[in-house]
Structure 1
C-alpha cells in the first residue's frame, strides 16, 4: 500500500479547523408524538483546530449537554439548527472517501468498556476490524505490528492481551484496548466521553494516564467529556463548563478551577470533597436570594433559579459572554463591567488565550 498523503489530511496546510460547531442547537421531542421539547444544546459555537495537542475538558452535571455535544462532533446525530463542520465541510453532507477520512480522523472512546466487545470474539477482533476497514498494513505481519505498538502505547502487554476473550480482562484493560484501537488509526482528535465513569477508582488514574501519554507523546488532541471536575483538573489544559445546554464558563483549567467566576462553577467545585479538614463540604448554598422572583418560563439565565447571586435582570435575558480575566470567559451579569467576548472568539481563547485580553 502506498504511503498516505498526510498533507491532504492536514487540510493542505491552511488554517481550516478540524472540527467546528457554528451556532448549533439540538432539541429533542416537540413533534407530533410529543408536545414537550427538551433543549439539549442551545446555540453553541466551538472550534477544535486539530493542530493544538491539548486536552480540552467539557464538564457539567447530567443533562448539561455534554454527551449531545460529543455525539454531534462524532456525527452520530444531526443538529436541529446550526452546522457541524469537518475541515470546513458540512458533516451531514459528507459521503464516500471524505466520510471515511472523517471516521478515521475523529475517534471515540466511550464510557462503557463492556458494550464495545462481542463476548463471542477474542479482543483481537476490535483491533483487526478497523485495520481491515481502513486498509492499514500491507501484510499480516505489519497489521500485527500496528496492534502491538498501539497496545504498548497504552501500557498493555500484547502477550497478555491478544488471544483472550473480553471476560478474561479487567474493565481497565478493556478500556485501554479501546484507546489503543483509536490510536492505530492515527487520529487527529479523540473524543473521550466519560471514559472512566464505569471502572473502579483504582483504574481511573491508569486510564487517564494512558490518555495523557497519548496526548503528550503522539500529539493527539483530546476532547474529554466528564462530570468529574477532579479528573478534569488533573488531566486538562483548558476547560468548558456547561449548564442546561449552554457554555457558562471557559478558560485555562488552573484559572477556572482555582478562581471560578460563575456561581454554577463555584457550586460544582464546592461539591468536591477536597482533602482539607478546615474546609466544610457543601459550604456554598444555592437558591435564589435577595427576594428575586424567578418565573418558570423566564427567558434569562438558565441558572437563575438556583443562583445565590440572582438579580432581576438575570430573569429577563441571557447574559452575554464576558472576558472576566485574560484567558477566562464567563456568561454572568456579575461581570458586566468587563468587555464582552464575541462567540466566535471563545475558541481562540481556549488555544491562545495569552493574547486575548480584550474583546
Structure 2
C-alpha cells in the first residue's frame, strides 16, 4: 500500500439491481445513484449517513467494505481502487477499514466461544507473538469498551446479551486499531441505555485512537449526538450534506425537513407530524425487497 493520505474516496458510485419487482422500471432498480463523498482520517471524524430504509445506505457500506463491486464508479483508499488492490494491499485495507454490522445475533458462529473473534484477528494480522501477549491485548480491548473479560470470555454467543455482543465487536475493532470504522445501523437492535454507551465508545475511539467512523443510521437524533458531518440520502442519492449542526438546524432539502418534522416532540400537548415515510419513496422498489436480485456489475 502506498504512503499517500489515508482517505476513503467514494467517486460517482452507482449500484443497479435487477429483479421481478423492478419490472415497472425496465427490470432494473438503481439502489445507489451517482454518489460521491470522502472520509478522512486526518483529522479523524464521524460522518453520519442518514436515510430511511431502502435509501441505499447499506449498499454503500458493502461497496466500501469490498463486499460488493459497484456497477459504476470507484472507491479508492490511499489513492488506489480497492477492487484492484494486490493481496497484500487488500490485507492492509481489511485491517485499516473495519465493519460493525447491525445484527448482534448474526455476527457470531453459535458453535464457537466469543474468544474466537479475537484470536482469529490476532492470528490473521500477527498481533501477538505469544498466547500470553495475545490474551493481554484482548483483555485491554475489552476494558476499552467497558466489558470485564471474566464476564464474556469463554462464553458462547447465546450466553451474553446483544449489547455485550456489539461491544465485543467494538473490542475487536480496538484490537486492530483501524483507521476507519464502517458502522451499519449498529445500535438499531439495542435498548436506549446501551445505545448511549455504544455511541460514547465510538466518540472515545475517535478522540483517543484517531479512528474515523462512517455511522449509518435512520435516526437523526443519534446523528446529532455523535456530531461531525452528515450525508442525507433519499432514493439512492445524497440530497443534503454538511456539518450536522448546520444541516439539522437549517435544512434546505424538503426530504431533510420532512425527516426532522417526523421526530416526536417530548410534549403530550404537541401533535406529532407523522410524515416520515409517506409519499417519499413514490412506489420505488427497495433493494432489500427485491426477490431473486441480480447485481449488475
Task: Identify the residue that residue 190 of structure 1 maps to in structure 2.
Answer: 181
CA contact (8 A) 2:259 2:276 kept: no
Which of 166, 180, 190 lines up with 1:175 in the alignment? 166
Shift in Å at residue 283 of structure 1?
A: 7.2
Separation (CA, whole Å) in 1 of partners of 2:158 and 2:173 = 21
CA change 1:69–1:139 in 2 (3 A) is: same
> Who is 2:294 aligned against?
none
Q: Scaled by the length of structure 2, what TM-score is found?
A: 0.88
2:9 maps to 20
Question: What runs of 5+ residues in structure 2 fail to find an aligned partner?
Answer: 284-297
| CA pair 196-287 structure 1, distance change in 2 beyond 3 A | closer
**What whole-Å deviation, never above 9, does each CA across 1:313-332 have from its counterpart, x for those lacking one?**
xxxxxxxxxxxxxxxxxxxx
Tell me, what secondary structure is at the counterpart of 2:257?
helix
Q: Give the Cα–Cα distance (whole angstroms) in 2 for the partners of residues 258 and 242 of structure 1.
A: 17
Deviation per CA, 1:132-179: give whole Å up to 9, x if none: 011111111111111111111111111212111111111100100001
Rg larger for: 1
**Greater relative CO, 1 or 2 (CA 8 Å, sep 6+):** 2
Q: Give the aligned partner of residue 264 of structure 2.
A: 273
Structure 2 counterpart of 1:327: none
After superposition, give the CA deviation of every residue in 1:77-110 in whole Å (9 maximum; x if it has no partner). Answer: 0010111112111111112110100000000000
Alignment correspondent of 2:82: 91
Q: Which moved more, 1:63-72 or 1:273-282?
A: 273-282
Which residue of 76, 98, 121 maps to 1:130? 121
CA–CA distance in structure 2, aligned partners of residues 304 and 41 of structure 1: 14
Q: Counterpart of 2:12 in 1: which secondary structure?
A: strand
**Contact 2:52/2:277 (CA < 8 Å) preserved in 1?**
no
Check whether the contact 1:153–1:214 (CA below 8 A) recurs between aligned residues: no
Change (3 A) 1:47 1:17: farther
The equivalent residue for 2:236 is 245
Deviations 1:185-244 (A, max 9, x none): 110000000001112233211212222221222121111000011111111311110001
The Cα shift of 1:30 comes to 6.6
For the residues of structure 1 that align with 2:102 and 2:276, how far apart are their CA atoms?
Answer: 31
Distance of 2:192 and 2:268 partners within structure 1: 22
Tell me: CA distance 1:90–1:197, structure 2 relative to 1, closer, same or farther (3 Å): same
Count of aligned positions: 280
Conserved 8 A contact 1:17-1:47: no
Distance in 2 between the 1:124 and 1:274 partners?
43
In the aligned structure 1, how far is the partner of 2:276 from the partner of 2:196?
A: 31
Q: Determine the C-alpha separation between the residues in 1 that align with 2:276 and 2:154.
A: 53
Measured against aligned partners, the alpha-carbon deviations of 1:327-347 in whole angstroms (never above 9, x if no partner) come to: xxxxxxxxxxxxxxxxxxxxx
Cα separation, partners in 2 of 1:20 and 1:286, compared to 1, 3 Å: closer
Q: 1:279 to 1:17 in 2, by over 3 A?
A: farther
Give the deviation of 1:277 after TM superposition.
4.7
In structure 1, stretches of 5+ residues that fail to align are 1-7, 289-302, 307-359
- 1:79-158 alignment to 2 at 5 Å? 79-158=70-149
Q: Which residue of 2 aligns with 1:166?
A: 157
Q: Relative to structure 1, is the Cα distance of residues 140 and 65 closer, same or farther in structure 2, using a 3 angstrom cutoff?
A: same
User: What residue number does 1:78 align with?
Assistant: 69
The alpha-carbon distance between structure 1 residues 285 and 76, as it changes in their structure 2 partners (threshold 3 A), is closer
Name the CA shift for 1:37/1:305 in 2 (closer, same or farther; >3 Å). closer
- Partners in 2 of 1:62 and 1:192 — Cα distance? 15
Q: SS state of the match for residue 273, structure 1? A: coil
